[in-house]
Amino acid sequence: MSDRSGIFAGDDPFAIARAWLAEAEAQEVNDANAIALSTVDASGLPNARMVLLKDIEDDGFVFYTNYGSSKAQELDSAGKAAFVMHHKSLRRQIRVRGNVSREEGPQADAYYASRSLKSRLGAWASRQSQPLASRSSLMAKVARVTAEHGTAPTRPPFWGGYRIDPVEIEFWADGAFRLHDRFKWTRDARGQDWKVERLNP
């Protein structure tokens, strides 16, 4: 496409996404990798929350969570999700829709091991999304799992990653007079060629 140049140039949407994120990391005050993740429950009611994107792979986007959480149950049930990454300082956003699979292997182990000790112990202590009697009861649980697991806890079996294999990626950049630039990349499944089209603002 002749007018897809500058920040939109390239034949690999994942490379473009990594470049945009790298640029945002130098500008955003906090959590440039934050995404608003959208799922649906069994009745089709939408849900959204902020999570931290931890990897942009050559063919997918990866984040981590507790498998007992509401988001995980909705991801497992529907097998599909969407997210938007908004970089306010750059006036850009990346929208992604796709199929979801779990990441429960060495990659998840390595990411878990890279987290701070308190975050690793917190993953053991929290029954994410479940009712909590009090903050003090949570801290007591943290103390118990600290005594049980010590300073080298292994990744909990109920905690790991999710990978979104996109069938649609849209790159959006703010334009003068609200005449924004939008390019949508679509494909039917992983490994297939992308189709790219410019969208109206």
Catalytic residue ranges = 178
Place of tokens 């003090």: 136
* φ, ψ of residue 46 in degrees (nearest 5): -70, 155
For residue 190, the tally of other CB atoms under 10 A from its CB is: 13
Residues belonging to the chain: 201
Encoded tokens for 35:
């995404």
Q: Are the CB atoms for 54 and 108 separated by under 8 Å?
A: no
Asked whether 195 and 185 are in contact (CB, 8 A), the reply is: yes
Among 196, 200, 181, 164, smallest CA distance to 56 is for: 164
